[in-house]
Amino acid sequence: MMINSFPHTRLRRNRHDDATRRLVSENQLHIDNLIWPIFVCEGENQRQKVAAMPGVERVSLDLVVEHVRPAVELGIPAIALFPVTPMSKRDEYGTEALNKDNLMCRAARTLKAAFPQLALIGDVALDPYTSHGHDGLIKNGQILNDESVDILSKQALNQAQAGIDIIAPSDMMDGRVRAIRQLLDENGLQTTRIMAYAAKYASAFYGPFRDALGSDALLHGDKKTYQMNPANSDEALREVALDLQEGADMVMVKPGMPYLDIIHRVREHFKAPTFAYQVSGEYSMIMAAVENGWLDREKSIMESLMAFRRAGCHGILTYFAVEAARILRGQ
Ligand code: PBG
């Protein structure tokens, strides 16, 4: 890198005023980069606050179209759906995941009919449906891999047939992307995309999400035999390489802000469409500080999102998506 020395070179010149700063800005955050995760629940006229995520609600299907409309009007390209399954519909095998009329499928049909252009992302994992809160099947205290992959691929097919555009396996079983791709293709769904949660860590930052889904109290043990060890970085590249080989169209790193180094390595190494999930705990941390008056709301939201772009993300799943889009539109 060529650099003249002071006083010839003064880097502060390019920071002199807003116009110059905009001219030399290396990264931009755009509404196209935003994906909004939402929680849907059973019942009618339900808007339930999630205690651990101020500002986030679980919404019943009769209200979901109006709930999502502002995101569509602001130009957000995609939303990610998460169903809150009542205990009565959960079992050891996550059977409800394969029900063609489960909440996820009904939500997909409702939203596709209202907003045909909006991309719907479906999370594939069994944790919303299992009585034990794990993402796969369990036997003698072990999470089974291949048997879980079998159900997960059927879950993916069920979602795709209901209108989900982008299948997002978040289960971290080995080989699930290949199995999902194969089953989708066999069923004429060659254009259904796969966004793999490729490098997903066993993280404490999912805590508020499990509260939103009601799987927190259920979860026996932890997810360390399938989600990654936060100490590892090279392993993330191997996970991403496998998912891309198996047919993933896009890859994701999760959580986001504590793992910006991983995002950067993944983007540099593979040059593939790279996404990050600014997870519930990251949202709650910012909101807690904002509510205490310790952080400026707009500035910290926008800085946190720009950091993902700088690290190499094409897009970000964020509970701030609608608010960020409003800020970007100057509303
Ligand atoms: C389910 C899933 C989780 C999240 C997304 N999909 C939780 C988990 O793995 O326990 C977390 C999202 C968030 O914290 O915002 N497999």
Residue 100: active-site member:
no
265 close to 233: Cβ distance less than 8 angstroms:
yes
Q: For 189-207, what is the mean pLDDT?
A: 97
Please determine, for residue 1, whether its predicted confidence score (pLDDT) is greater than 80.
Answer: no
pTM: 0.97
| DSSP assignments along 207-271, one per residue | HHHHHHHT-TTT--S-STTTSBPTT-SHHHHHHHHHHHHHT-SEEEEESSGGGHHHHHHHHHHH-
Determine whether domain 28-328 maps to CATH 2.60.40.10.
no
Six-digit token string for 191: 């254009």
Mean pLDDT of the chain: 97
Q: Name the residue of 56, 81, 152, 206 to mutate for ligand 1: max ligand atoms within 8 A of Cβ.
A: 206
Q: What pLDDT does 211 receive? A: 87
* Span 94-116, pLDDT tens digits: 999 999 999 999 999 999 999 99
Q: For 34-51, what is the mean pLDDT?
A: 97
Integer Cα distance of 264 and 271 in angstroms: 10
Domain boundaries, the chain: 28-328
Residue 254: active-site member:
yes
Please determine, for residue 2, whether its predicted confidence score (pLDDT) is greater than 90.
Answer: no
Give the distance (Å) from ligand 1 centre to CA of residue 209: 6
* Span 199-239, pLDDT tens digits: 999 999 999 998 888 877 888 889 999 999 999 999 999 99
Q: What pLDDT does 3 receive? A: 73
Q: What is the DSSP letter of 130?
A: B
Q: 252 falls in which pLDDT band (50, 70, 90)?
A: very high
